Amino acid sequence: MKAAVLERPATPLVVREISGPRPGHGEVLLKVDACGVCRTDLHIIDGELPPPKQPLVLGHQVVGRVVESGAGARGFRDGQRVGVPWLGGACGECRYCRGGYENLCDQARYTGFHIDGGFAEMCVADERFAVALPQECTPAKTAPLLCAGLIGYRAYKLTRCGEPDGSGGMTGPGTKRIGFYGFGSSASILIQVALHNGQEVYAFVRPGDTQGRDFALAMGAAWAGGSDERPARELDAAIIFAPVGELVPEALTAVRRGGVVVCAGIHMSDIPAFPYEKLWGERTLRSVSNLTRRDSQEFMNLAREISVKTEVTVYSLDEINRAVEDLRKGHIAGSAVVTVNGS
């Protein structure tokens, strides 16, 4: 089969023939329709996240159809449309897995990292970690939901500030105004969830990126400007999507006392030293790591319920290095997606 292969870090992907995968116990074999390109792929290609196997097929926002089920796999029927996200496996037995935090499992395995991913004509997935998708979905439009959407959603859930009131709600001022630092694939999806929940979104883009600013405003942001600017209103929470450590003290300065700053990326440049007073006032600074299957279910249901739309730029598998470079340069409004098998 044809696949885009990372032979070693800091080199372009090579589109070439490799032997096709076979579904093992509990696995399904998929014919890939589309696979989203994520910033994590850039970090792996650049060696900031050293790939655990080489050569490696990246891609962890996979939409495909089941063509074969391995021994013991009974969750999907042939021809069924499924999605494969970043979390490709977890041990199920450690204290994290048992406590509902399989995203923190030491033995977790990730699609397009430990397991060959979706920048290929075929891939395999553990059926327990694959997500059923609507049969009629458009693969290229759906792919970005599987990481930008899902992990963005987990970051979004962590922006709830206040104290549990004992009846499932929260007390305190709550989260009305959310800042998004970086307005790419994830932010363009999560703004739809925030607006649905009646929140205001403040979008921070690279200084001078008027296209990014206009895109955010067109998506419904209450305010959009450079990350060196400050809106007139204090924020309740912020999500930092861009992998830029300098944004951490900026975001802490923009949020109110008791507010939350969530770093949504898997990798970030070093955070510069900053005065303690930026954190003082019970502000919380935290990261988000990976996703759980519960996040997948919740978010995919929500995306369907509120008809989340994605803005995509589509590339063929042969054009994958161009997709990677466009994403790196911030030339994409929304999400970059590779379509495979002529879909």
- Smallest gap from residue 59 Cβ to Zn ion (A): 9
Nearer to Zn ion, 90 or 251 (CB): 90
Nearer to Zn ion, 64 or 259 (CB): 64
Burial class (CB in 10 A: 0-12, 13-18, 19+), 195: middle
Stretch that binds Zn ion, among 50-58, 110-118, 144-152, 159-167 (CB under 5 A): 144-152
Nearer to Zn ion, 111 or 199 (CB): 111
- Binding track, positions 62-101, relative to Zn ion; x by CB under 5 A: ----------------------------xx--x--x----
- Smallest gap from residue 152 Cβ to Zn ion (A): 9
Could you give the 3-state DSSP secondary structure of residue 179?
strand
- Binding track, positions 219-258, relative to Zn ion; x by CB under 5 A: ----------------------------------------
Single-letter code of the amino acid located at 146? L
The correct pick among 34, 133, 146, 147 for binding Zn ion (CB under 5 A) is: 147
Q: How far is CA 165 from CA 111, 168, 194, in A?
A: 38, 7, 22
Q: How far is CA 71 from CA 25, 99, 110, 187, 317, in A?
A: 5, 29, 22, 39, 30
- Smallest gap from residue 17 Cβ to Zn ion (A): 26
How many residues belong to the site for Zn ion (CB under 5 A)? Answer: 8
Closest Cα to residue 114, out of 52, 60, 55? 52
Instruction: State how beta strands 14-17 and 122-126 pair.
Output: unpaired
DSSP state at residue 10: T
**Distance from CA of residue 221 to its chain's centroid?**
20
Site for Zn ion in 1-60 (CB under 5 A): 38, 40
Nearer to Zn ion, 29 or 108 (CB): 108
Nearer to Zn ion, 252 or 288 (CB): 288
Task: Report the DSSP beta bridge partners of residue 312.
Answer: 335
Question: Where are the alpha helices (H) located in the chain, listed in sequence order?
Answer: 39-45, 95-98, 139-142, 148-157, 185-196, 210-218, 247-254, 293-305, 320-328
- Smallest gap from residue 41 Cβ to Zn ion (A): 7
- Smallest gap from residue 37 Cβ to Zn ion (A): 9
DSSP state at residue 111: B
- Contact between 199 and 164 under an 8 Å Cβ cutoff? The reply is no
Q: Quick check: 327 binds Zn ion (CB under 5 A)?
A: no
Cβ neighbours for 5, distance < 8 A, ≥ 6 positions apart = 13, 14, 15, 16, 18, 55, 56, 57
- Smallest gap from residue 32 Cβ to Zn ion (A): 16
- Smallest gap from residue 92 Cβ to Zn ion (A): 6
- Contact between 129 and 26 under an 8 Å Cβ cutoff? The reply is no
- Binding track, positions 96-135, relative to Zn ion; x by CB under 5 A: -x-------x------------------------------
Could you give the 3-state DSSP secondary structure of residue 194?
helix
- Smallest gap from residue 83 Cβ to Zn ion (A): 13
Contacts with Zn ion by CB under 5 A lie at 38, 40, 90-91, 94, 97, 105, 147
